[in-house]
Structure 1
């Protein structure tokens, strides 16, 4: 989920913690849990700082080890270790358990996005991405804001957020049902589909769809149970020639290949350089595919420059390549 949603979820966990008698009856525990819930709800996303390095590093590592099983166990210990000296009379176990809930909930809700997480690492490095909830979901964020407003005007925060989370669980079930019917509609539209990748949007009934068959890629938009094919491409494997082998040595190309399950490729050549471009087919927006990886190679196949990330115009892409 986005940062804002994780923040309001931290407040929600702090509110629910007031139902714990140990928290409610001990001021130090209550104060410590409130801070720990807010910190814990954000902690796994500390890898966002990798953006300051480069997009390739961020792409390879975001929602990776910081969202893994060991991290979910270690984050609460680290947070409590820092907080406890400031609240020595707090109940250590109850402080830990509510911090753990905040961290766990952060990682848990992230698996429902299309981006997903490596939540079962080190058992498997597979990305778990259920693709039913958009990274920013207006309804989920709105439910939390309503809860905070009710808390602010005097409603019991524990029972308020328990009720709201019950509503959100129903909302998640409805999203799974909606996605299920989209899959049925896609299989009717493209009977030979071998794999269907569905990405939610901010609109409840609208989905982005990438479809893989034996020899074709289809890009579609789904609305309710209606599927519209927007683009179709021949499924041509990435060639194993010298140009591609050289391109794969680039950090941006390598990161893109580790992340994208469905893409098309282009190789262009002029008198000065080769250009290898990989285009992710999952994120079509207004007729444009904004998530790409590009590398330029000289005539000796040495890397000149490269870039991976979100680009919405060719001019900006060329500027990025110049900067890189």
Structure 2
């Protein structure tokens, strides 16, 4: 989820913690728990700082080890240890418990986005992305804002957010049922479907779709229960080619391939260089596919320049990285 929603989830969980009798009876513990849930709801996203280094590091590691099973335990222990330095007489177990819950909820809700997480590390580095909830879901955000507003009106914080989370749980079930209906409609329309990736949008009844079939990739949109095929690409596996192999060793391309589950590739040969491009098919926007990895190599297969990330025009790509003109 987005940072704003995670912060509100920290407030919500700190409020629900007041239903814990141990927390409710100790104002200092209640205050410490709120700090713990706010910190815990943000801690796994500390890897966002990797974006300051480069896109490859960010793409390869964001929502990776910081969202893993060991990290959930380590974050909660670390945050609890810091807070106890300032609240030395509170019940440490209950402080740790609610901090742990906030970290675990952060990782859990991120699984439902199309971006996903590597939440099952160290057992597997596979990205788990259920593609049910948008990274920023206006309904979930609004429900949290309403909950905070109700607190200012004097309602009980625990019962207020417990009720709101009941509504959110029902919303998740509705979204899962929507997704199941979309997948059923796709399989009825397209033969030999191997994989369906759903990317929910801001609109409740509109989804982006990346479909892998036996011979083709399809990019589609689901809107109001109907499936619209927007693009179709022949499914071509990466060839055993020295240019491709050299390109795959580039840091930006390697990061892209480690993250993207459905993409098309292109190899272009020019007078003095090669260009290899990988395009993620999940994120079509206004007829353009903005998430790419591009690498240029000279005739000796040395990497000249490369890029991975979001770019919305060819001119900006070449101007930003000073790539060799075609």
TM range (shorter): over 0.9
C-alpha separation between the residues in 2 aligned to 1:320 and 1:71?
Answer: 36
Structure 1, residues 192-234: CA drift from partner, whole Å, max 9, x if none? 2121111111111111111111111111011132101000111
1:156 aligns with 2:156: yes
Query: 2:282 aligns to what SS in structure 1?
Result: coil
Query: 1:317 aligns to what SS in structure 2?
Result: helix
C-alpha separation between the residues in 1 aligned to 2:228 and 2:281?
Answer: 15
Alignment match, 1:294: 294
Alignment match, 1:61: 61
Query: 2:72 aligns to what SS in structure 1?
Result: helix
Equivalent positions of 1:150-189 (< 5 A) are 150-189=150-189
1:128 aligns with 2:100: no
Contact persistence 1:18–1:158 (CA under 8 A): yes
C-alpha separation between the residues in 2 aligned to 1:15 and 1:129?
Answer: 29
Between 1:194-203 and 1:156-165, the stretch displaced more is: 194-203
Structure 1, residues 159-216: CA drift from partner, whole Å, max 9, x if none? 0000000000000000001001100111111022121111111111111111111111
C-alpha separation between the residues in 2 aligned to 1:139 and 1:180?
Answer: 20
Alignment match, 1:228: 228
Between 1:264-273 and 1:244-253, the stretch displaced more is: 264-273
Structure 1, residues 24-76: CA drift from partner, whole Å, max 9, x if none? 22122111111111000000001101101111111111111101000011111
Contact persistence 1:307–1:320 (CA under 8 A): no
Contact persistence 1:178–1:224 (CA under 8 A): no
Contact persistence 1:265–1:278 (CA under 8 A): yes
Contact persistence 1:112–1:130 (CA under 8 A): yes
Judging changes above 3 Å, is the alpha-carbon distance between structure 1 residues 225 and 191 closer, same or farther for their aligned structure 2 residues?
A: farther
Q: Which runs of 5+ in 1 are unaligned?
A: none
Between 1:145-154 and 1:264-273, the stretch displaced more is: 264-273
C-alpha separation between the residues in 2 aligned to 1:210 and 1:27?
Answer: 50
Which 4+ runs in 1 deviate beyond 3 A?
A: none
C-alpha separation between the residues in 1 aligned to 2:264 and 2:128?
Answer: 23
Normalized against structure 2, the TM-score is what? 0.97
Query: 2:51 aligns to what SS in structure 1?
Result: helix
Structure 1, residues 279-321: CA drift from partner, whole Å, max 9, x if none? 0111111000010000011111100110000111111111232
Contact persistence 1:201–1:207 (CA under 8 A): yes
Over the aligned positions, Cα root-mean-square deviation in angstroms equals 1.2
Contact persistence 2:211–2:218 (CA under 8 A): yes
Contact persistence 1:10–1:37 (CA under 8 A): yes
Contact persistence 1:195–1:211 (CA under 8 A): yes
Contact persistence 1:182–1:224 (CA under 8 A): no
Alignment match, 2:49: 49
Contact persistence 2:191–2:213 (CA under 8 A): no
Q: Which runs of 5+ in 2 are unaligned?
A: none
Query: 2:143 aligns to what SS in structure 1?
Result: helix
Alignment match, 1:27: 27
C-alpha separation between the residues in 2 aligned to 1:81 and 1:322?
Answer: 48
Equivalent positions of 1:65-76 (< 5 A) are 65-76=65-76
Alignment match, 1:8: 8
Structure 1, residues 129-183: CA drift from partner, whole Å, max 9, x if none? 1110010000000000000000112111110000000000000000001001100
